[in-house]
C-alpha cells in the first residue's frame, strides 16, 4: 500500500466532514481518530477499484463508513438493481446481502460479482426454497406467484414476477390476475392485502409465513410512547413492519421513499421504523434534522466490513463469487424483467 501521509490526511478529512455527528447503533460515533484509522483502507480500496475497473454497490443498511468512503452507488434493492444494470464496470462488489448480489449477476452474466461478507443471508430469503415454491404452485395452480426481491435467484426462477418494497403495491395492482400468491414476507403480504382493499382492488392475495427479524421487532406501543414524548414527530415505516405498526405511521415507504420524504419535509423530529443504517445515511445527508428513537440492526447487513471489501478486491475466494447455473439465471432474469416491465408501466 503506497499512500502519502498527506493523501491519507485528506481522505480522513473528507470522511470526517461527512461522518462527524453520525451515531446510530454500532456505527459510530465517528471521531477524527476513527476517520484517520479508516483512511488508508479507503484509499487502497478506491485505488484497487480504479485499477480493476470495479464498482461498489452499497445498501443503505451497511455501515455509513462504507457508503461514504468507498460506495459508488447507495440505495435500496430496486435502485441498486437498476444501478447494476447500467454499470460498465468489469467487477461488481455488492456490499449488502447475497440475494441482492445474485440479482446483479442475473443482470450482468459476464461480469464478476463479488460478495464481501461471509454472513450474507437474510431471514426472509433463507426461509423459502425453490422446491417449496414448486409445491405451493401445485397447491395454487391458478395463482400468479409474486416474490419479494428478498429471495434467492433459485426461488425467483420458479416465480412469475419479482417486486421490491418501492413497487410492490403498484405491481400487485397492475398484474392482470385476480389471484396472487405473495412470498415470502407475511407482514408485507398482509400490508398488500390491506392496501388492495384501500385501493378498492379485488384480488385474492395468499401469503407465505416468513418475516424480516429486524422489522418485526417494532411494535405500535413503542410508536405511541414516542409520539407522546415528541409532539410534532413524523413516523416513517417500511412495508416489512406489521400492519399494526403501519397504521400508526405518517408515511409508509421503501428506504428510498423514506429518504425522499425526509428531503421533502421539515418536521421537528423523525422516527424511522426500519434498519438503523437508514438513520445513519439520513444523518450524513441531512445533518440539520433530528432522528429519535431506538432502531434495530440487521446482523447480515452489518457483517459487511471494509477489510473484507479490500480482501475480495485483492484476491477473492471461490465462495466470494456469485455463480449461477444458466437455468436459474435465465429463470430469475425473466422474473426480474417482469418487475421492470410492470414497474415502468404508467398508471
Binding flag, residue 117, ligand SF4 (CB under 6 A): no
CB of 243 to ligand SF4, least distance (A): 17
CB of 59 to ligand SF4, least distance (A): 8
Dist CA 159 CA 146 (whole Å): 6
All three cell numbers of 18, joined, read 461527512
Contacting ligand SF4 within 218-277 (CB under 6 A): 275
Residue choice 39, 57, 124, 309 for contact with ligand SF4 (CB under 6 A): 124
All three cell numbers of 258, joined, read 423514506
Q: Which is nearer to ligand SF4, 188 or 271 (CB)?
A: 188
Closest of 164, 188, 168, 276 to residue 240, by C-alpha: 188
Binding flag, residue 93, ligand SF4 (CB under 6 A): no
All three cell numbers of 50, joined, read 480504479
Closest of 105, 114, 112 to residue 89, by C-alpha: 112
Residue choice 12, 212, 305, 339 for contact with ligand SF4 (CB under 6 A): 212
Identify whether the C-beta of residue 163 lies closer than 8 Å to the C-beta of residue 171: yes
Beta bridge partners of 237: 252, 273
Binding flag, residue 196, ligand SF4 (CB under 6 A): no
Identify whether the C-beta of residue 133 lies closer than 8 Å to the C-beta of residue 183: yes
Stretch that binds ligand SF4, among 17-25, 68-76, 166-174, 297-305 (CB under 6 A): 297-305
Contacting ligand SF4 within 42-61 (CB under 6 A): none
CB of 70 to ligand SF4, least distance (A): 20
Parallel/antiparallel/unpaired status of strands 144-148 and 233-237: unpaired
Binding flag, residue 300, ligand SF4 (CB under 6 A): yes
Closest of 330, 329, 310 to residue 320, by C-alpha: 310
Residue 169 burial class via C-beta count within 10 angstroms: exposed 0-12, middle 13-18, buried 19 and up: buried
Binding flag, residue 97, ligand SF4 (CB under 6 A): yes
Identify whether the C-beta of residue 267 lies closer than 8 Å to the C-beta of residue 231: no
Binding flag, residue 73, ligand SF4 (CB under 6 A): no
CB of 97 to ligand SF4, least distance (A): 5
Identify whether the C-beta of residue 106 lies closer than 8 Å to the C-beta of residue 340: no
Q: Which is nearer to ligand SF4, 123 or 283 (CB)?
A: 123
**Which secondary-structure segment (H or E) carries 82?**
helix 77-86
With CB under 6 A, what is the number of residues at the site for ligand SF4? Answer: 12
CB of 14 to ligand SF4, least distance (A): 29
Q: Which is nearer to ligand SF4, 210 or 271 (CB)?
A: 210
Contacting ligand SF4 within 129-168 (CB under 6 A): 150
Positions in the binding site for ligand SF4 (CB under 6 A): 97, 122-124, 150, 212-214, 275, 298, 300-301
Amino acid at each position: 500500500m503506497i499512500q502519502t501521509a498527506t493523501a491519507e490526511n485528506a481522505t480522513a478529512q473528507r470522511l470526517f466532514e461527512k461522518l462527524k455527528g453520525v451515531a446510530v447503533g454500532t456505527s459510530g460515533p465517528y471521531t477524527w481518530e476513527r476517520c484517520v484509522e479508516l483512511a488508508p483502507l479507503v484509499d487502497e480500496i478506491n485505488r484497487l477499484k480504479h485499477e480493476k475497473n470495479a464498482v461498489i454497490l452499497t445498501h443503505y443498511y451497511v455501515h455509513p463508513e462504507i457508503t461514504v468512503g468507498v460506495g459508488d452507488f447507495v440505495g435500496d434493492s430496486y435502485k441498486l438493481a437498476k444501478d447494476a444494470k447500467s454499470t460498465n464496470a468489469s467487477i461488481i462488489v455488492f456490499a449488502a446481502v447475497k440475494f441482492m448480489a445474485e440479482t446483479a449477476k442475473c443482470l450482468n452474466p459476464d461480469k464478476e460479482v463479488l460478495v464481501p461478507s461471509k454472513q450474507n443471508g437474510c431471514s426472509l430469503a433463507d426461509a423459502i426454497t425453490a422446491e417449496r415454491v414448486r409445491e405451493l404452485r401445485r397447491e395454487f395452480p391458478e395463482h400468479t406467484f409474486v416474490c419479494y426481491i428478498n429471495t434467492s435467484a433459485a426461488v425467483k426462477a420458479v416465480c412469475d414476477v419479482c417486486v421490491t418494497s418501492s413497487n410492490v403495491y403498484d405491481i400487485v395492482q397492475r398484474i392482470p390476475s385476480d389471484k396472487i400468491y405473495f412470498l415470502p414476507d407475511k407482514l408485507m403480504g398482509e400490508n398488500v392485502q390491506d392496501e388492495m382493499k384501500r385501493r378498492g382492488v379485488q384480488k385474492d392475495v395468499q401469503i407465505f409465513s416468513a418475516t424480516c427479524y429486524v422489522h418485526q421487532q417494532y411494535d405500535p406501543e413503542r410508536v405511541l410512547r414516542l409520539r407522546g414524548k415528541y409532539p410534532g414527530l413524523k413516523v416513517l415505516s417500511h412495508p416489512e413492519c406489521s400492519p399494526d405498526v403501519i397504521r400508526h405511521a405518517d408515511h409508509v415507504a421503501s428506504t428510498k421513499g423514506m429518504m425522499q420524504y425526509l428531503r421533502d419535509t421539515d418536521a421537528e423530529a423523525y422516527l424511522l421504523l426500519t434498519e438503523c443504517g437508514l438513520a445513519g445515511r439520513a444523518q450524513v445527508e441531512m445533518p440539520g434534522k433530528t432522528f429519535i428513537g431506538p432502531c434495530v440492526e440487521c446482523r447480515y447487513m452489518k457483517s459487511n466490513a471494509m477489510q473484507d471489501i479490500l480482501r475480495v478486491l485483492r484476491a477473492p475466494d471461490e465462495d466470494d463469487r456469485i455463480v449461477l447455473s444458466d437455468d436459474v439465471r435465465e429463470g430469475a432474469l425473466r422474473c426480474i424483467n417482469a418487475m421492470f416491465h410492470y414497474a415502468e408501466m404508467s398508471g
